[in-house]
Amino acid sequence: MAGRINIRELILGILLEINQEEQYSHIAIRNTLSKYQYLEKQDRAFITRVCEGTQENQIRIDYIINQFSKIQVEKMKPVIREILRISVYQLIYMDHVPDSAVCDEAVKLARKKGFYNLTGFVNGVLRQIARSKENLTFPEKEDGINYLSIQYSVPEWLAERFLEQYGFETAEKIFQSFMEEAPLTVRIRQHLTEKEKVIESLEVEGVQVEKAPYVENGYYLKGYDYLPALTAFRMGNLQVQDVSSMLVAEIAAPKEGDFVVDLCAAPGGKTLAVADKLKDTGKVDARDVSPKKVELIQENVRRMDVHNVVVSVKDATEFDTAIVEKADIVLADVPCSGLGVIGRKIDIKYKMTPEKQKELVNLQRKILENAAFYPKPGGVLIYSTCTLGVEENLGNILWFTANYPYKLESLNSYIDPELHSAATEKGYLQMIPGVHKSDGFFMARLRRMEQK
């Protein structure tokens, strides 16, 4: 390892930043790797693996520690707690790291941080776990909520919620999918682009290209080092986007010349997919609440050299009289709990709570109240989220159609027959990770009724 830099000390610092200062894990990891750019590739990989792995499996790791420690995890000093967590992750999930080395390094780190009187405690707990790791006991499937929570390292409230809404088998599939590495999915631009040539250029650069399901221009990419270095990306022929998000543009089905408003557009995936379908005609008015988010949209618009998109900073909760009854299509991809993308964003399962989710439902309904007035009579409103809870999805749609002059329209003429169901015939689709080959996502197509 590099010089006098203690790699495990860097990992400890990252986890303290995440769990004590509530920093997002990807930002904490990125900032450290940026600060220590001179570290060797294997050290950087080790830091990333241990940080992400410890976070992903935190509840399961805590359960293990609590079986061998007289002091429960939540009552430990933060530094000792994180030292034990990163050490248990290495003991259980990283066979190439010798158990003795894990224990010794943990003791050294505790001593270096000034906890001399707790080195014996750290050493004792870890060596007990190392000796017993082949015989650890966990809740059985019959234990339902507790089993799902510990096995897949999710909060009990979330295990209970999914168990209640989806049943045990589907809930387990969802949580299992969150633990699997998600492929990078891209949309290949359709307008002014020959898909075969884009794929060929990727393959020439050593990228493995595999067709993604449900959408015509969705593909998985593997075997690349740095996405922005790829010619197809630099030329604006690719946009990173999950197939579930691509489906929003499919069910929106804009016609050439349409005026489309995207109320919560960052980072711009749906905006650009809709603009692509418009073939440089019409206009997409892409908005988001902060300058930082809007800059993300603008970066993608510039890179893809799209000319029928305008981008602006606007708060979707504030009513905009300028677009009342002007839009052919309105996209309301509202802020949500993000429970469908936990596999890509580990932090969500620890940061989200039932209370926060209730607050989000109120925010979503405020946005819908405004959005209701923007489509022309006969126009279309697309509602979508990247979450799985009924409250934020179908619950909002039923509330909306009960209070505003909109009706759901069947999705079946817009989506792959593989996705057809009684729900899609009614006008909405819930994509479920582990069941569908995609992130968790909800979408509905609503038509504003003509005035009599």
Q: Residue 443: enclosing H or E segment and its boundaries? A: strand 441-448
Pairing of strands 259-262, 208-211: unpaired
Q: Is the dihedral of CA 316, 317, 323, 329 positive or negative?
A: positive
**What pLDDT is recorded for position 323?**
98
Compute how many other C-beta atoms are within 10 angstroms of the C-beta atom of residue 256: 10
**What pLDDT is recorded for position 1?**
40
Range list of β-strands (E), 241-351:
259-262, 283-288, 309-313, 327-333
Q: Is the dihedral of CA 57, 60, 61, 62 positive or negative?
A: positive
Residue with tokens 């520690």: 65
Dihedral in degrees, nearest 10, Cα atoms 205, 207, 213, 215: -30
Cα–Cα distance, 129 to 191 (Å, whole number):
58
Residues 188 and 219: beta-carbon distance below 8 Å = yes
- The secondary structure of residue 404, as a DSSP letter, is S
**What pLDDT is recorded for position 5?**
83
Cα–Cα distance, 282 to 279 (Å, whole number):
8
H-helix segments, 219-320: 231-234, 243-252, 269-278, 291-303
Closest CA to 220 of 231, 208, 206: 208
Q: CA distances (Å), 257 to each of 193, 246, 278, in order?
A: 20, 20, 7
- Residues of the chain short of pLDDT 70, as ranges, are 1-4, 452
**What pLDDT is recorded for position 225?**
86
**What pLDDT is recorded for position 29?**
95
Cα–Cα distance, 178 to 156 (Å, whole number):
16
235 residue type, one letter: M
**What pLDDT is recorded for position 452?**
59
Distant-in-sequence, close-in-space partners of 20: CB < 8 Å, separation ≥ 6: 78
Instruction: Write out pLDDT tens, residues 55-102.
Output: 999 999 999 999 999 999 999 999 999 999 999 999 999 988 899 999
Closest CA to 179 of 58, 281, 291: 58
Strand partners, 240: 186
